[in-house]
């Protein structure tokens, strides 16, 4: 079953709403990006029970995911922050990279480039950049993209 962009947007909005309600403390204490991604993935899993939602899952079938990422001389193993897929197959619906709002712009740009490569090389239908806002008005924001190749 393929999900539309609207379906994914609604699921992400709902998962983020749950995160805001139940896990905003992670932003208040400036917890690690990994712990925030883990909680967001749990909320997303509830929205998408027919899919596998995994953090830092680096397999393409049975083999490690490798990309020739910007600034890399050769292919290297990559660990996406969150993916929505069917384990062991080629059904890759959504890839998410997340950053805290105080991350340097160069790191955010790097993640956008990785998202484009994930879509191109691994066939993800959609990609999202999630921002954990860790200062001022604490929040979680996202941009959902569909990169064409």
Confidence of residue 27 (pLDDT cuts 50, 70, 90): very high
* pLDDT for the residue 65: 78
Range 77-87 average pLDDT = 90
Dist CA 12 CA 6 (whole Å)? 10
* pLDDT for the residue 47: 97
CATH number, position 77? 3.90.1570
The CA–CA distances, whole Å, from 50 to 14, 38, 87, 123 equal 16, 18, 12, 19
Dist CA 51 CA 23 (whole Å)? 23
Domain with 26 in it: 5-145
Confidence of residue 59 (pLDDT cuts 50, 70, 90): confident
* pLDDT for the residue 123: 86
Res. 71: pLDDT tops 70: no
% of the chain at pLDDT higher than 90: 56
Average pLDDT of the chain is 88
pTM for the model stands at: 0.90
Res. 63: pLDDT tops 60: yes
* pLDDT for the residue 133: 94
Which are the contacts of 11, defined by CB distance < 8 A and separation ≥ 6? 3, 44, 47, 48
Domain count for the chain, please give it.
1
């Amino acid at each position: 079953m393929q999900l539309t962009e609207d379906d994914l947007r609604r699921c992400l909005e709902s998962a983020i709403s749950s995160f805001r309600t139940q896990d905003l403390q992670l932003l208040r204490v400036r917890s690690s990006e990994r712990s925030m991604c883990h909680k967001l993935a749990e909320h997303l899993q509830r929205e998408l029970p027919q899919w596998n939602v995994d953090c830092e899952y680096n397999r393409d079938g049975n083999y490690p995911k490798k990309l020739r990422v910007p600034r890399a001389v050769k292919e290297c193993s990559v660990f996406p922050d969150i993916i929505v897929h069917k384990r062991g197959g080629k059904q890759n619906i959504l890839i998410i990279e997340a950053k805290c709002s105080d991350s340097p712009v160069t790191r955010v740009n790097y993640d956008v480039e990785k998202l484009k490569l994930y879509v191109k090389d691994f066939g993800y239908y959609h990609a999202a950049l999630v921002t954990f806002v860790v200062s001022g008005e604490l929040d979680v924001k996202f941009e959902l993209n569909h990169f064409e190749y």
